[in-house]
Structure 1
Amino acid sequence: MFIGRMCLGISPLVLVSLSFLWAFTRGDTVIDCDIKGSCILPCRFQASDEEVIHWIQEKPASASAHSYYYKKDQLTLQHPRFKGRTSLFLDQLSNGNASLQLNEVEARDEGRYKCYTSTVAGHDQSFVQLNVDAPVLKVNIDRKGNTITCSSEGLYPEPKLTWSTDPPSVSLQNNTTVRLSGQELYNISSFLNLPNNDVNVTCTVQTRKNRRKTTLTRTTTQTSEKDSELSCTLPAPPRTNLVWRFNQNEDILRQDSNEEPVVSDTWGKHFVDLSASGSLVLKDLTSDEEGQYTCEASNSEETLRSDTLLTIEETQESSSDHTGVIIGVVLVVSCCIIIGIIYWCKKRAQTQGNDPVL
């Protein structure tokens, strides 16, 4: 009863202020959206006549995202970067739905949005915090001598990069650089110097939404005859894709999930099989196919890269074949010479037999 008397004694101005304070402190709705995707920023109001709706990006800078009144969209004052990317659910306004759909989301769309609504029944406002993410899709890793390079591109917000080795290394001297691209996305790269290559090296890149890692295993050396089987290290299932390359930039084959491998035209004549363990079986290799063979296999969280330096050893059978060819050529040439001499001798004898007697 005492509390009721107190409330009756509060002026209308104080009640309005308390109502506004409650609306402000009830908290923002948080929406997460991936870059280039579509998002719905929610907003509800008390449905009535003469709707006025304003969506404003308050932070990091004030910008009009979308307006509606007089029964139609009013986009004269809309900020240019929102042009063609916003819309209301016009068929749901009568139900009190003033939500905004934002398409082709950009990194600079991140921020705090205010939804202001007004009708003959009154006005209200609510707030939405939009978080934009460009997750880590791929971590590239490469080795040149004792220097390992790791990079990833098109990330948001600012990512972090870490190195690790197996077996563990006490000190990993690295140099990491983060750059902001023209689309306000982050590119990160790092260089790691190792005293030797007898370790597995892992590079991990992490953003707010996810993280991925790529592991470069120890480089192996293999000497084979014209038929070779090259091994691959696979990540934990389910595997999403596998790629075999020659000398880093020439594709041999690609395989997505559990589909059949797609072999390049150049390597079709050498391809025999791709085993369940990822091993690549090739045939009829020559010295032209000597070099670095790389297997990259990925799942949803990591990529494992295996490098094999292959040397082709000439087989005894090949040597015999070569020797046989050489002997055959020598015999043919010798026979031609002998036949030529015999023919010349016969012609000479005939010439001498026809000479007149003096």
Structure 2
Amino acid sequence: MAAARTLICALVWILSVAEGKVPEARVTCLFSEDCVLPCTFKPAGQTAIHWTRQEFLVHDFLNGSDWLDQQHAHYSARTSLFPEQIANGNASLQLRMCNTQDRGRYRCHVTNENGNQEYFVIVKVEAPIRTLALELTRLSGPPPPDSLKPTTRKMATQNGLYSVESKLRKLPAKPSDGYTYFCTVNSSYDTESWRASLREKELSGEEGGALTVPCHAPTPLENFTLTWAFSRADEPEDILTFDSRTGHTSNRWAGLARVDQNHALSGDGSLHLQNLRNKDHTGTYTCNFSAPRSRHLEHTCVNITVLAADRSLTAGSSWLWVIAILLAALALFIAALVLFRKMKAERSAVGKPAEATEMQAVQADERENGIPSESSHLTKDQTANEST
């Protein structure tokens, strides 16, 4: 009997403790977003609601209105109840723009004709992953033996968040189809996972021909955007964008580049090029599959080569231009030489004495009329004297 009485008393004590236990809930709020802390009670007449966290006053509701004169500055203009639902027993608190300092144990105390009622809420604040980006940077020096071992560091920010950076050296050699690198980030609460991937390869085409630059998403994607960009030495420019949700395609290279929409929806975003030109289409093509919590990049270096026949034709045309330029230069030189001699002769004629010119004209007339000139007489007399 004594043992039975002891057992019965123990059961009564356990039941009494269970009945007196204060209800408790656990809520995970997202950083910079609104969150609702639940609290329910048995309604009866006038109700007073008192929300606190440790010794801090979070929110007060008395006589049908809010009383916030003693509210802690951390919660100023960030809290509210649902007044239209209080009469139904809902004293839940809405907390706006949650931050890491909102973590903790909250107490909801309600007083009405039924007496005092309490409810506790354990609040966790999780910062979701906002972005995940993959970038290529140039590092000096050969890669170490453990090239595939990443270096990761976590940097704290002023608002209690973290920025995570992980670096991995690329392998020194790559096959013809290229390597694919993956980066996966999981949140601390394992509520979400983000993944990004990167691939590099090389490709060549011929002048005037067609070429397909392949790009395949490594995993099935939904609600994604496919973007193709092209760059040489300057900043890349977007040439084509496809939205899987709307089916809309924006193409700045219309007539030169296209993507098959049906294939893109299944993860094949290959770019089809035509009428290739060496100077316009040689460069780096970047394919970007962007979806919620997922991103895939492919960089393809494309080299457009000129055919041998085209090169010989181009060389022949260049020689013709050289010959034409040389002939034109020779013609100009000859014309300049002729003009120079003509001008020199004219200057010589203008510079002779007038008397000499007149004497030459008289002597010419005498010879034409058979009259010997004085010089002729002198010549004969000189000859006679010399004979004597």
Alpha-carbon offset, residue 278 of structure 1: 1.0
Q: Which position in structure 2 is the counterpart of 1:82?
A: 75
Q: Which stretches of structure 1, 4 residues or longer, exceed 6 Å deviation after superposition?
A: 348-358
Q: Which has the larger radius of gyration?
A: 2
Do the aligned partners of residues 334 and 132 (structure 1) sit closer, same or farther apart at CA in structure 2, a change above 3 Å counting?
A: same
SS in 2 for 1:117: strand
Matched residue count: 319
Identical positions, percent: 24
Q: 2:195 maps to which residue?
A: 213
Equivalences for residues 1-358 of structure 1 within 5 A: 18=16, 22-24=20-22, 26=23, 28-58=24-54, 62-144=55-137, 172-193=148-169, 196=172, 198=174, 199-207=179-187, 208=189, 209-217=191-199, 219-226=200-207, 228-234=211-217, 235-238=219-222, 240-246=224-230, 250-252=236-238, 253-258=240-245, 259-263=247-251, 268=253, 272-275=257-260, 276=263, 277-282=268-273, 284-287=276-279, 290-316=282-308, 319=311, 322-323=314-315, 325-327=317-319, 329-330=321-322, 332-334=324-326, 336-337=328-329, 340=332
CA distance in 1, matches of 2:101, 2:127: 12
Residue type matched to 1:232 in 2?
C
Which residue identity lines up with residue 260 of structure 1 in the other structure? H
User: Could you say what secondary structure the match of 1:141 adopts?
Assistant: coil
TM-score, L = length of structure 2 = 0.66
| Aligned twin of 1:164 | none
CA distance in 2, matches of 1:47, 1:91: 13
Conserved? CA contact 2:52–2:107, under 8 Å: yes
Query: What is the CA–CA distance in structure 2 between the aligned matches of 1:96 and 1:75, rounded to whole Å?
Result: 21
CA distance, structure 1, for counterparts of residue 346 and residue 150 of structure 2: 95
Q: 1:135 is paired with a residue of what secondary structure?
A: coil
Decide whether aligned partners of structure 1 residues 33 and 241 sit closer, same or farther in structure 2, where only a CA change above 3 A counts: farther
Counterparts in 2 of 1:193 and 1:330: CA distance versus 1, 3 Å:
closer
d(CA) in 1 for partners of 2:147 and 2:324?
68
- Aligned counterparts of 1:21 and 1:42: Cα–Cα separation in 2: 20
1:141 Cα deviation from its structure 2 partner: 2.8
Letter in 2 for 1:279: S
Counterpart CA distance in 1 for 2:284 and 2:57 is: 56
Q: Tell me, in whole angstroms, the C-alpha distance in 2 between the residues paired with 1:63 and 1:328.
A: 91
Gaps of 5+ in 1: 148-168
Deviation at 1:66, TM superposition (A): 1.7
Contact 2:79/2:94 (CA < 8 Å) preserved in 1? yes
Q: 1:316 to 1:67 in 2, by over 3 A?
A: farther
- Letter matched to residue 88 of structure 1: L
Deviation at 1:74, TM superposition (A): 1.6
More strand by share: 1
How far the C-alpha of 1:301 sits from its partner, in A, is 5.0
Contact 2:58 2:75 in 1 (8 A): yes
CA RMSD of aligned residues (A): 4.1
How many Å apart are 1:97 and its aligned residue?
1.8
Identify unmatched segments of 5+ residues in structure 2. 351-356, 362-388
Residue of structure 2 equivalent to 1:155: none
Rounded to whole Å, the distance in 1 between the matches of 2:148 and 2:340 is: 88
CA distance, structure 1, for counterparts of residue 92 and residue 73 of structure 2: 20
TM-aligned CA deviation for residue 124 of structure 1: 0.8
- Give deviations 1:160-186, integer Å, cap 9, x for gaps: xxxxxxxxx999533221222222122
SS in 2 for 1:330: helix
